[in-house]
Amino acid sequence: MNASLRPILSGGLFLERGAACCSCSGVTDRESAKEARSFSHPRSTRSRTSVGSLSAAGRKFGFLFLLLFLSVIHVSPAAASGKKIIFDTDPGTDDAMALMLALHSPELDVRAITVVPGNTTAKQGLENALRMVSLANRCDTPVAAGAQHPLFQKLITAEFWDGKNGLANIELPPSKCKVDARFGPDLIIELVRGAPHEITLVPVGPPTNIALALQKDPSIVPLVKEVILMGGSIKGGNVNAAAEANIYNDPEAAQIVFQAGWPLTMVGLDVGDKTLLGRKHLEQLARTHGPVNDFIYSVAKFFVDLSEKFGSDGTPMYDPLAVGVAVDANLVTAPLMHVDVEARGEFTRGETVANRRGEIERNVLHGDRYIIEGLDKVQPNAKVCIDVQADRFLQLFVSRIQGK
């Protein structure tokens, strides 16, 4: 929360002003009464009654105004003006950084958190999400369990990268928040239908929950404002030579999501690998303290230490960057392309195959061979992020975690 807004949101500024107004009103009432007495005589009771009635009416109106104002400021600032998002996550370490960025960005109104297996099992991921939301004091945000496994393949978890519990082996306090009873994909459908053309989906794990929501209710496609998806790459993978981890963990789900026909931005390795959070950013985070700040510092340090063991100067901010794009789309350069997800290749399963040229050859069968007869246009289905203002994003991240 912006520090300058805290007194307003807590009601402190209003109450101070209200007290001052009431004080002025009291002086005015006393002066009015004094003036009324100086000009009245025993037969002027009607005049005094009129003044008293007006004063009572004024106090009643002031009280009603106070109630109205308090009811307005009780709503979070994001709910009043922020971009409504559903944060779909497989809560591991970079998901933790992404979630805290989302919850501490006034530009965003996190309407729900839906949990998918990926970095961790579905059960561990749900527990991680609840503990983090509790740490951020945001039990008002629904947290719902979703899919328990990918659509067709076995789950691949990432304890090697994220620690045994998915949160860099950091044990957060037990959650004060309760899990929402609704099934994640059902909650997505419900919220999208409740706010047509207003909800942005931000999946930063395998897109299984999004695919399940689409399969159950394809009519939500035109009702979704946009999808900002962390996943994919057009320059090679991080799981193997071809595939990025989120897409590799559920290629069939990813293909469903890419082909749905809604506005989609792919925030993949092409830009994530350029946003390296390193030692200088850790030093900045170490200068401030608080439950969220200290937690994210510890998570980031775990990741930076691990990255340095493999020769990197910092940890790629894959998931947080997707949230950054939701905050400010100008952080990235993202030309339109047509993207398909390879689901059958022996060496390329999970690859996001992007058509950069916007056209394909038209091959027509003639007898025992095909003949190229021309070029056909290919309609783009995604904005693909290819460049990023990395320093600006990293400073945005650090400042938001610090509460600035």
Query: Residue 241 sits in a domain of what CATH number?
Result: 3.90.245.10
Q: Are 388 and 274 in contact (CB under 8 A)?
A: yes
Residue 375: inside a domain: no
Q: What is the pLDDT of residue 404?
A: 82
pLDDT, tens digit, for every residue of 332-379? 999 999 999 999 999 999 999 999 999 999 999 999 999 999 999 999
Tell me the average pLDDT across 242-256: 98
pLDDT, tens digit, for every residue of 137-151? 999 999 999 999 999
Q: What is the pLDDT of residue 5?
A: 35
What pTM, to 2 d.p., does this model score? 0.81
| Shared-domain flag, residues 55 and 114 | no
Residue 183: inside a domain: yes
Q: Which of 48, 73, 98 is the last residue of a domain?
A: 73
| Shared-domain flag, residues 64 and 104 | no
Q: Are 109 and 76 in contact (CB under 8 A)?
A: yes
* Mean of pLDDT over the chain: 86
Kindly report the backbone phi and psi dihedral angles of residue 387, in degrees, each rounded to the nearest multiple of 5, phi listed first.
-150, 155
How many residues in the chain? 404
Domain that holds residue 27: 3-73
- CB within 8 Å of 166: residues ≥ 6 apart: 91, 92, 93, 119, 120, 124, 125, 128, 158, 159
Q: Residues 225, 226, 228, CA angle at the centre, nearest 5°? A: 150
| Shared-domain flag, residues 64 and 183 | no
Residue 289: inside a domain: yes
